Structures are given as structure tokens and as C-alpha cells.
Structure 1
Amino acid sequence: MRFHTRKWVKPEDLNPNGTLFGGKLLAWIDEEAALYSIIQLENQRIVTKHMSEINFMSSAKQGDIIEIGIDVVHFGRTSIVLKSEVRNKMTQEKIITVDNITMVNLDSFGRPSAHGKTKIEYVKDRILKP
């Protein structure tokens, strides 16, 4: 699992129980999945089609630093399927896992479009290509 983004849990991110609001965390995961997909598929027209079961394992509180990890499960013809894990940066305790997040590549008309990708590519390797 590669952890790309860190978030600092602030007062505006909390629920009435004083812990990180699940909806806020899911929004952060969705954004991270979209950004990862945009970079991998080299297209800004990406939408979330599906999120599998979400497993909340622990909570985060104000002041915690969390990190969001994303990995590719597989590349489809028009989609990329990802998995995500969020953990507390300091304790390494898992906060949430999502096994499947399906992101779909769209054309300029908003229709699913083949992306032609079959493996993870890193931007540094694209830049070095002749």
C-alpha cells in the first residue's frame, strides 16, 4: 500500500462524539481515489462508480494525523479498481479499509471510454520517456 496524502484532523472534521466524522473521511478517500485515477489514466474526466463495503476499524480524534493509502486492484477496459486504507500516522493503527473503489474513465461526452492502461505507471517514468 502506498500512502500518498496526510490529513490533520481539525475541529471542523469531528462528529458530535468528538471523533472524525465518517462522511468527511469518505470524502477524503473519494478525492484521493479520483486524484490517483486521474494521474494513472492521464484523464481528468474520472468518476466514482462504486465503493465496496467500508470497514471502520478505529476512530481518529482532533489533532491526529492520518494518512490515506491507495493501491490498484486491477485495470478494467474503461475503469480502474482501487483499494484504500487509512491509518493513524503516529500509531500506524488502521482506521478504515475499503476493498474496492471503481473509478471510470470518461470521454468528452461523459461516456465510459477505454483508457488503454494495463499497469501502474509512475509520473517520473513518463517524464523520462523519449
Structure 2
Amino acid sequence: MRFHTRKWVKPEDLNPNSTLFGGRLLAWIDEEIALYAIIQLESPRIVTKHMSEINFRSSAKQGDIVEIGIDVIKFGNTSLTLMCEVRNMMTKETIITIDTITMVSVDLDGKPQAHGKTKIEYVEDRLKR
């Protein structure tokens, strides 16, 4: 699992229990996954098609730093399927896991569009082109 982004839990991110609001965390994940897919598929038109069961395992409180990890499961013809784990850097606990998230490349009409990618590309791969 590669951890890409860190977020600092601020007062506006909390629920009435004074812990990280799950909806805020899911928004962070969706944004991070979308950015990752846009970069990997080299297309600005990516949509979230599916998220599997979301397993909240622990939480975070104000001042904690969480990091979002992503792994590629597979490249489809129009899609990219990923998995995600978010962990609390202060407590070292996993906050959430999502087994599969499917992102789809779409055309201007919002219809699935082939992206032509078959493997992960890293910065050094793109510099060689």
C-alpha cells in the first residue's frame, strides 16, 4: 500500500462526538482516489462508479494526522479498481478500509470511455517517454 496524502484533523472535521466525521473522511478518500485515477489514466473525466463495503475500524480526534493509502487492484477497459486504507499517524491504528473502489473514465457525454492503460505508471516511467 502506498500512502499518498496526509490530512490534519481540524475542528470543522469533527462530529458531535468530537471525533473525525465519517462523511468528511469519505470525501477526502473520494477526492484522493479521483486525483490518483486522473493521473494514472491521464484523463480529467473520471467518475466514482462503486465503493464496496466501508469498514470503520477506529477514529481520529482533533489534531491527529491521518494518511490515505491506495493500491491498484486492476485496470479494466474503461475502469480502474483500487483499494484504500486510512490510518491515524498518531495512534498507528487503521481508521477505515475499503476493499474496492471502481473509477471509470468517461467521454464528454458521461459515457464510459476506453482509457488504454494496463499498468501503473510512476513519475520515472513518464520521464522516459
Bucket of the pairwise TM-score, normalised by the shorter protein? over 0.9
Asked if 1:121 is matched to 2:121, the reply is yes
Q: Which residue of 1 aligns with 2:98?
A: 98
1:77 maps onto 2:77 in alignment: yes
Distance 1:91 1:44 in 2: 36
What does residue 18 of structure 2 align with? Answer: 18
Give 2:64's aligned residue. 64
Task: Report the counterpart of residue 107 of structure 1 in structure 2.
Answer: 107
Task: Name stretches of at least 5 consecutive residues in structure 2 with no aligned partner.
Answer: none
CA distance in 2, matches of 1:127, 1:46: 23
Query: What is the deviation of 1:108?
Result: 2.4
Work out the CA distance in 2 between the residues paired with 1:2 and 1:92: 16
**Distance of 2:124 and 2:47 partners within structure 1:** 25
**Alignment TM-score, normalising by the size of structure 2:** 0.97
C-alpha distance after superposition, 1:65-112 (max 9, x if no partner): 000001101111100001000001133210000000000001222210
CA distance in 2, matches of 1:78, 1:125: 22
Runs of 4+ in structure 1 off by over 3 angstroms are none
CA drift at 1:116: 1.1
SS state at 1:26 partner: helix
Query: What is the 5 A alignment of 1:27-66?
Result: 27-66=27-66
**Aligned partner letter, 2:87:** R
Percent same amino acid among aligned pairs? 77
SS of alignment partner, residue 4 of structure 2: strand
Give the paired residue count: 129
Unmatched runs of 5 consecutive residues or more in structure 1: none
* Letter aligned with residue 40 of structure 2: Q
Alpha-carbon RMSD: 0.8
- Larger deviation: 22-31 or 110-119? 110-119
Q: Which amino acid aligns with 1:60?
A: A
Q: Secondary structure at the match of 2:72?
A: strand
Residue 24 of structure 2 aligns to which amino acid in structure 1? K
Alignment pair present for 1:5 and 2:10 = no
